[in-house]
Structures are given as structure tokens and as C-alpha cells.
Amino acid sequence: MRKVARSIKHSLQASLDHALTASKHQVIALIAMVFFAVAREGLETVFFLLAVFQQSEGPGAPIGALLGLILAIVVGFLIYSGSMRLNLSAFFRWTGLFILVVAAGILSNSVQALHEAGVWNHLQTVLFDFSATLPMDGPMGSVLAGMFGYQDAPTVSTLGAYLIYLVVALVMFFYPAPAPAPKAAASNSASSQ
């Protein structure tokens, strides 16, 4: 992501310009791709909300869905209006960090699932228990568990996997990228042969 962040804006604009100036079929393919991507996300949202509405009682679910829709419109407008001024390098840096934290949670949950399946039964001492203050089945706990792999009573193995992965991944993420090899020297040596 670090390599891509440097040149992605130019690359995306060049690819889009090429697609729009090329044949009519490429323009139709580009429009169809965007249409189907948005349609897929819309259908996922409809199915998700349908399941929530069928399982919920009272006005909480429709009000939450309406507030979520309003928030999505506002965020979409802000992204659209700010996308021309968006620093893609900083954007990919922050989204990369977010993805690393999510991946650490997935690994931690995988270790927990291995324990529940009876495959991994080592280091199962519970380190601390937040189930009284922030339970996993509560609203905030379920959001944290779904996004970041939060566990209200983590064991040595689950928290260890989370922290080891996160430390190693963050060191690799922040390790300075190697400088690109100079192209002029490579082309001069190739031309002299």
C-alpha cells in the first residue's frame, strides 16, 4: 500500500482518461462496473436491514436504519466534495493502520475459535475480565468485537496473538521503504552493452 499510495492518483486518473477516450465499449464497461458495485452494496444493505427488521421489535431498528442512511449520505457527500483535495498518501497510511488492527482482531478470534474447537488448548489463562463493564453482547462490545476482535475476557493466547501480530505488522508498516533504484544508471549500463 505504501508503494501504491505514491502513484495511485496519477495512475487512476490516467486509467480513467484512457477508458473514457477509448472505444464506446470501454466506457459502457466502466459504467456497468460502477453500477454493479453500487447495486451489490445496496442489495447487501437491503438484506441486512431486512433481517434486522424481522428480528427487532419496536421503532428502534427503523430509526437506526434511517439515521444510518442519513449518516451515509452525509459521509458520501463529504467524501465526494473532499476527494479532489484528498492526500492519498495519508489516506492509505491511515486505512493501512486500520486494516492492520482489524487483521490482528481476526487472528485473535481465530485463536479463540481454535480453542473452542479443541485444537489449541495452550495458554488459556484469562488475563482480565471486562464482561461486567463492557460485555461482548452489549451494543458497544459487539461493535468492537465485530470490527477489532474485542474480547471481554481475553486469554494469554488470544491477547498474545493480537499483540505479537500487531507489533510485527506495525514495525513492518513503519519501516522505511527502500529507495527506488535510479533508472538513469540502469538505462546507461544497458545502452553501453
Residue 5 lies in a domain: no
pLDDT band, residue 34 (cuts 50/70/90): confident
Distances (CA, A) of 66 to 48, 61, 76, 85: 14, 9, 15, 29
Cβ contacts of 72 within 8 Å, gap of 6 or more: none
Q: What is the average pLDDT across 127-137? A: 80
Domain that holds residue 116: 88-176
Residue 10 lies in a domain: no
Residue 110 lies in a domain: yes
Q: Number of structural domains, the chain?
A: 1
Whether this prediction's pTM lies above 0.75 is answered by: no
Of 13-27, 54-68, 131-145, 159-173, the least confident: 13-27
pLDDT, residue 164, reads 93
% pLDDT > 90, the chain: 5
Residue 46 lies in a domain: no
Most confident of 5-9, 15-19, 188-192: 15-19
Q: What is the average pLDDT across 39-65? A: 80
Distances (CA, A) of 69 to 7, 46, 57, 65, 79: 33, 12, 20, 6, 15
Residue 182 lies in a domain: no
pLDDT, residue 167, reads 93
Neighbouring CB atoms inside 10 A of 117's CB total 9
Q: What is the average pLDDT across 186-193? A: 51
Residue 150 lies in a domain: yes
**Quick one: DSSP state of residue 85?**
G
Residue 125 lies in a domain: yes
H or E stretch including 157? helix 156-174
pLDDT band, residue 184 (cuts 50/70/90): low
Query: Rounded to an integer, what distance in angstroms lies between the CA atom of residue 179 and that of residue 182?
Result: 9
Residue 8 lies in a domain: no
Q: What is the average pLDDT across 72-79? A: 86
